Amino acid sequence: IPVSPFDYVVFGATGDLTQRKLLPALYQRFRDSQIPESSRIIGASRSHMPVEEFRERARDALKSFVPATEIDEAKLAGFLDHLFYVAVDALGDEGWNDLKAMLEERPDRIRPYYLATAPDLYGAICRNLDRYGLISAQSRVVLEKPIGKDLKSARAINDAVGAVFPESQIFRIDHYLGKETVQNLLALRFANTIFERLWNADVIDHVQITVAETVGVEGRGGYYDTSGALRDMVQNHILQLLCLTAMESPISLDANSVRDEKLKVLRALKPITAADVQSVTVRGQYAAGAVNGRPVESYQADLGSDAASRTETFVALKLEVRSGRWAGVPFYVRTGKRLPKKLSEIVVQFRASPFSIFPAESFGREPNRLVIRLQPEEGMKLEVMTKDPGPGGMRLRPTNLDISFEETFKQRYPDAYERLLMDVVRGNATLFMRRDEVEVAWAWADTLLKAWAERPEPPRPYAAGSWGPTASIALIERDGRTWHEEIG
């Protein structure tokens, strides 16, 4: 859908997120002719630099973070011409009049303000936007995660932003919602009768959500050590995946209908209290090991500090959604850094066949599984039982009905930010989080964090390159089930 010319203001323009994700995403949209002529992308941050230097830095970032085959020199030069820069002090007065002068050249434009800064600056930036008269009905504000580190701090951010922007103009990003396969989950569930009719406790045995990463904390130790995997990945990305998997059909795809349904799932999530912590949660921290054959250091060494950290880099949980549809169906979720591969998937495991006409020795007894792969190699696969070919009698074995999206559609899969950045311009908030969602998710996370804090044990060590502490395997095997990766 074509959009009108816009002025995209990015605060935190010299930061990692802008260089790694936002500029590459905007470049890709430009390459696809989605950025109208005369639109401006205005970088704002504290350092003083001429616009030429900002463009030079952007060129370097694009060369590093966009695949070489997707760099077209003429397009790249055309894109850089759309970039502008203004030095602004989020906490003081400096630069705001310059920004105002620049924006007032085109007063009627759609004007997203993307806050890619530390969250403790969100309130100050919003107050200044208001003070300098930079907010109109055409403005929107985009908030990156983390929105707080608990319910209290999330509320403070939401209050400060909400004091100057109405909720309909606030776009809280969870980039997992922009991933193609996550949106495909909506298509799969609500455009295919075969799945939706089976999507309940009568037929489904359990659900697994895995978000595994090979990276460690890289240079982000300062942030990560005050966060940990529960805050960094579960409170947002994993709960959002769980919501889309578990929610009822929204009455339409408009933002509030979808968010109303997700909110009900979050409200139905059983809180994990001190009494359950031991049986349904596992916290781990990576020790030295090897990932993809390369030796890597421990989390503690990556942090480079002597004080023993108790922050978890791995979490596995058994969750319960208290609703008629899901009664008795566990949702096992796990995420971690320094695991053997980068892999995100949702696995819906159906109940095993209650009775078999096949002789015991021929019946593999594998239940059907639907595997929705978010990354890598986006796709879906349905594991079904089939007859082994040949005259040797009725022998069964599991086989995959497998769709790889890239092979099927033969086109580039856009990065999540490409979709989300343009949805902001269009004013479509369906794939963004509403205030109440974020806060209910924090309230749930706070209960678990509190329960963990009451326990004396540090996180369990796991060797980098393994699938986390063995307690994670025990968590699911106690219930007679296994994590999916073994089947591949």
Smallest distance, ligand BG6 to C-beta of residue 228, A: 10
Inter-residue contact 408 to 388 (CB < 8 Å):
no
Q: Which of residues 160-219 bind ligand BG6 (CB under 6 A)?
A: 213
Burial status of residue 385 (CB atoms within 10 A of its CB: 0-12, 13-18, 19 or more): middle
Residue 483's identity, in one-letter code, is: W
Which of 177, 317 has the CB closer to ligand BG6?
177
- Total residues contacting ligand BG6 by CB under 6 A comes to 4
Phi, psi for residue 442 in degrees, rounded to 5: -70, -40
Give yes or no: 237 in active site.
yes
Inter-residue contact 265 to 480 (CB < 8 Å):
no
Which of 250, 468 has the CB closer to ligand BG6?
468
Of the CA atoms within 13 Å of residue 459, those in its CB half-sphere come to 29
Smallest distance, ligand BG6 to C-beta of residue 210, A: 11
Contact between 418 and ligand BG6 (CB under 6 A)? no
Which of 232, 345 has the CB closer to ligand BG6?
232
Which of 223, 409 has the CB closer to ligand BG6?
223
Smallest distance, ligand BG6 to C-beta of residue 344, A: 6
Which of 235, 323 has the CB closer to ligand BG6?
235
Which of 36, 340 has the CB closer to ligand BG6?
340
Smallest distance, ligand BG6 to C-beta of residue 368, A: 27
| Active-site residue (options: 82, 175, 206, 237) | 237
Which of 18, 323 has the CB closer to ligand BG6?
18
Q: Which of residues 332-371 bind ligand BG6 (CB under 6 A)?
A: 344
Per-residue contact string for residues 393-412; x = within reach of ligand BG6 by CB under 6 A: --------------------
Smallest distance, ligand BG6 to C-beta of residue 297, A: 17
Inter-residue contact 259 to 167 (CB < 8 Å):
no
Tokens of residue 318, six digits: 């058994």
Report how far apart, in Å, the C-alpha atoms of 431 and of each of 11, 41, 128, 241, 427 are: 22, 22, 27, 12, 11
Q: What is the distance, to the nearest Å, from the Cα of residue 250 to the centroid of all Cα atoms in its chain? A: 21
Q: Report which of 2, 186, 199, 198 is spatially closest to residue 110, judged by C-alpha positions.
A: 2
Inter-residue contact 435 to 171 (CB < 8 Å):
no
Given phi > 0 = left and psi -120 to 50 = alpha, else beta, which region is 338? left
Smallest distance, ligand BG6 to C-beta of residue 16, A: 11
Residue 263 is classified by DSSP as: H
β-strands 294-296, 289-291 pairing = antiparallel
Q: Which of 7, 205, 232, 345 binds ligand BG6 (CB under 6 A)?
A: 232
How many H helices and E strands in the chain? 19, 17
Smallest distance, ligand BG6 to C-beta of residue 375, A: 6
Q: Which of residues 108-167 bind ligand BG6 (CB under 6 A)?
A: 145
Distance separating alpha carbons of residues 234 and 332, to the nearest angstrom: 12
* Concatenated DSSP letters of 211-255: EE-S---TT-HHHHTTT-HIIIIIIIIIHHHHHHHHPPPPSSSSH
Dihedral of the alpha carbons of 17, 299, 289, 337, in degrees to the nearest 10? -40
Which of 213, 418 has the CB closer to ligand BG6?
213
Smallest distance, ligand BG6 to C-beta of residue 302, A: 13
Residue nearest to ligand BG6 (CB): 232
Q: Report which of 9, 37, 46 is spatially closest to residue 142, judged by C-alpha positions.
A: 9
Binding site for ligand BG6 (CB under 6 A): 145, 213, 232, 344
Q: List active site positions.
A: 237
